[in-house]
Amino acid sequence: MSTTNKISEGLSAITPYLTVKGAQTAIEFYKNIFGAKEVGRLVMQPGNKIGHAELAFGNAALYLAEENPAWGNKSPATIGDSPVTIALRVSDVDATFQRAIDAGATVLEPVKDQFYGERGGTLIDPFGHRWHISTHIEDVSFEEMQRRCNAMLAAHPS
């Protein structure tokens, strides 16, 4: 009897799966702005809609599909928001962030040096998904992060 690896080789145990309105446009956005590579896609008939696509972001994967409310798949555009933020690390956060803005993304938090050792900012892509884009700038221990976080919160109480 043969054995099968329970997690497909090359994939992590967890992969974000986004639902979007305009899957083809989303794929092009993620490729052109974030540097993703398309691994493959499944087109559903009738309607010629993308039922599944896999994109590679370095050593990580992202899946996406066209919105299909009949199957329970609703996009942030239909729901009105997304409770999830996808963290994406890139080599040049400022350039990537600006490309995203130029392509229709909305800024939630501008790029700045963060207390946890990253330079980053948060935006919503044209499909309603929230992204925190960052570049690593400093190694920071959890203890130091906590100290910096406490200082930041003390300086700006809500």
At residue 42, the pLDDT reads: 95
CA distance 74 to 76: 7
Whether residue 68 is found in the same domain as residue 2 = yes
Residue 106 and residue 85 share a domain: yes
CB distance 58 to 12 below 8 Å: no
| Residue-range definition of the domain harbouring residue 105 | 81-158
The last residue of one of the domains, among 37, 58, 79, is 79
Residues 71 and 88 in one domain: no
- Assess whether 98 and 149 both reside in one domain: yes
- The region, left, alpha or beta by phi > 0 then psi within -120 to 50, assigned to residue 47 is left
Phi and psi torsions of 49, nearest 5°: -95, 150
pLDDT at 27: 98
- Of 21, 44, 79, the residue that ends a domain is 79
- Are residues 2 and 69 both part of a single domain? yes
Helix or strand run (H / E) with residue 50: strand 49-57
Looking at the fold, whether 94 and 143 belong to one and the same domain comes out as yes
Dist. CA 43–CA 51, nearest whole Å: 6
Rounded to whole angstroms, the maximal C-alpha distance in the chain is: 63
pLDDT per residue over 82-129, tens digit each? 989 999 999 999 999 999 999 999 999 999 999 999 999 999 999 999
Give pLDDT, residue 115.
92
Res 4 pLDDT > 70: no
Domain co-membership, 46 together with 95: no
Answer for the pair 23, 65: CB distance below 8 angstroms, yes or no.
Answer: yes
Tell me the pLDDT tens digit for each residue of 93-104.
999 999 999 999
72 with 85, same domain: the answer is: no
CATH number reported for the structural domain that contains residue 72 in this entry:
3.30.720.120
If asked whether residues 73 and 89 sit together in one domain, one would say: no
When divided into structural domains, the chain yields a total of: 2
Of 55, 79, 103, the domain-final residue: 79
pLDDT in tens, 30-81: 999 999 999 999 998 778 899 999 999 998 999 999 999 888 899 999 999 9
Q: Do 48 and 87 share a domain, yes or no? A: no
Number of helical (H) and strand (E) elements in the chain, helices listed first: 4, 8
Q: Could you tell me if 86 and 154 lie in one domain?
A: yes
CA atoms within 13 A on the CB side of 140: 18
Residue-level pLDDT at 158: 72
